[in-house]
Amino acid sequence: MARPRAAGYEGHRDQIRAAAAALFARLGYTAATMSDVAAASGVSKATLYHYFSDKHALLEDIVSSHVARLEQLIEQPLPPPPSHLLLPADARLRDLVARFMQAYQGAQNEHRVLTEDVKFLEPQAREAVLEGQRRVVTAFAQGIAACRPDLDPALHKPLAMLVFGMINWTFTWLKPGGALTHAALGEIAADLLLGGLPAVHAAAAARGLSG
């Protein structure tokens, strides 16, 4: 019979995961050591190895947990449309962009690790993460198809990838506490997707972001 986990186990695991993600994002996965992770987490190496067998297991936990959270976003029901001017399909796509930008705001380290270090995973673990990412892309492609049913279906996935091209790399330049928030940028990205540059200009001016 398996021994039950101690109270606070998941909290300690989350603490280590967050510290390791910040460390990997700053130093790079290959440069950071388990000793560095233990020090950054404020735990002993023995405690660290109690939670994670090695650095590969820690990396897998960081990226798989992050992708799992993103997958949860595509499964949540839509809130009521904010305006009668929005078609349901437009509202779904706009909401997806907003949700992902909000998630990225609180997970910049994890997203950087996912983007830059997934290549270091073992093949089976890497494929599981990539499969989760494919499901996320498919959800966006389906949202685009609902907005533009007249388009050739072969364009749905490339267009979804273009959306991620806009929002996935914001961790490289969009800093917390700056003049432009993740929420505002999410609105602008959705404006650009649904209405093109003229819509972005109008929305930015209305929100006082043009200056």
What is the domain extent for residue 41? 1-52
pTM to 2 decimals?
Answer: 0.84
Nearest in space to 37 (alpha carbons), one of 45, 65, 10: 45
211 inside domain: no
Count of CB atoms situated within 10 Å of the CB of 128 = 15
Are residues 31 and 115 part of one domain? no
C-alpha of 164 from chain center: 10
Residue 205 has pLDDT above 90, yes or no: no
Q: State how far the Cα of 134 lies from the Cα of 53, in Å rounded to an integer.
A: 28
Tokens standing for 70? 């993103």
164 inside domain: yes
DSSP letter assigned to residue 148: -
Identify the band that residue 209 occupies on the pLDDT scale cut at 50, 70 and 90. low
Q: What is the pLDDT of residues 16-70, one digit of tens each?
A: 999 999 999 999 999 999 999 999 999 999 999 999 999 999 999 999 999 999 9
Domain with 199 in it: what CATH number?
1.10.357.10
Identify the band that residue 89 occupies on the pLDDT scale cut at 50, 70 and 90. confident
Are residues 179 and 166 part of one domain? yes
Indicate the SS3 state at residue 170.
helix
91 inside domain: yes
CB-CB contact of 132 with 148 (8 Å): no
Are residues 40 and 130 part of one domain? no
Are residues 34 and 127 part of one domain? no
Identify the band that residue 210 occupies on the pLDDT scale cut at 50, 70 and 90. very low
Domain with 17 in it: what CATH number?
1.10.10.60
Are residues 183 and 104 part of one domain? yes
